[in-house]
Amino acid sequence: MCQLSVNERRGAVKPYTEWNANEYLRYAHLPVKPHNDYYTISDITVNGQAINGDVISIMAVVKQVSGDILN
């Protein structure tokens, strides 16, 4: 399980290693947003100019992370 921290200048994905990590595993499969309230990467590519300046939700999958993610 990982935690994602994001602000205006930087983001970080770090392992969540707190003592209560197992309490959250039962929620891992629950959707956190409506299924139709996001853009895919292909939507952004095709409609990029139309959504310029809008705040949007993005659905993406991270296949690989390389480099030093813990620092």
Task: Tell me, yes or no, whether 18 lies in a domain.
Answer: yes
Residue with tokens 């994905």: 13
Reading the chain (71 residues) residue by residue, the pLDDT tens digits are: 777 777 667 777 777 788 888 887 787 777 777 777 777 778 888 877 787 777 777 777 777 766 665 55
Q: Please give the pLDDT value at position 67.
A: 67
Q: Which two tokens stand for residue 2?
A: 């990982």
Domain limits at 54? 2-59
Please count the helices (runs of H) and the strands (runs of E) in the chain. Answer: 2, 4
Question: What is the number of structural domains in the chain?
Answer: 1
Task: Tell me, yes or no, whether 16 lies in a domain.
Answer: yes
Q: Shortest CA distance to 56 belongs to which of 67, 45, 66, 64?
A: 45
